[in-house]
Amino acid sequence: MKFCWSTLYVKDMEESLNFYEKIIGLALNAKFKAGADVEIAFLGDGETKVELIFDKNKTSINPGTDISWGFEVDSLDDMLQLMKSKGIKIESGPFQPNPKMKFFFIKDPNGMKIQFVENGL
């Protein structure tokens, strides 16, 4: 069995695409209309994708507080600098639970918790 994708309903497709492409670094894999009021985009080149859905009729977005998506980065310090330069608030961290890992959390434009982690220090 393969894990195909994780879905997030978004408030603004273009703002979310900009975030996931330019901040996270995911490539747009596919984008299409799924009816008159729904637009879907898939991002990522690997086995697992991020699916973003914009529905004009959905009045509120609630990604929850107990879910986060983690992305491995080469340099946590570089990501911290990028967040600062883009005016993105660090929600918590950086943390270093062991000598080989450190991470911090931000939120995407929809309130989804995003974790950046550097492994193998």
- Same domain? 10 vs 43: yes
- Same domain? 46 vs 85: no
Number of domains in the chain: 2
Domain at 16, CATH number: 3.10.180.10
pLDDT tens digits, 81-109:
999 999 999 999 999 999 999 999 999 99
Cis amide prior to 94 (ω within 30 degrees): yes
User: Residue 116 is inside which H or E element, if any?
Assistant: strand 113-119
Mean pLDDT in the chain? 93
pLDDT tens digits, 25-79:
999 999 999 989 999 999 999 888 999 999 999 988 888 888 999 999 999 999 9
- Same domain? 53 vs 72: no
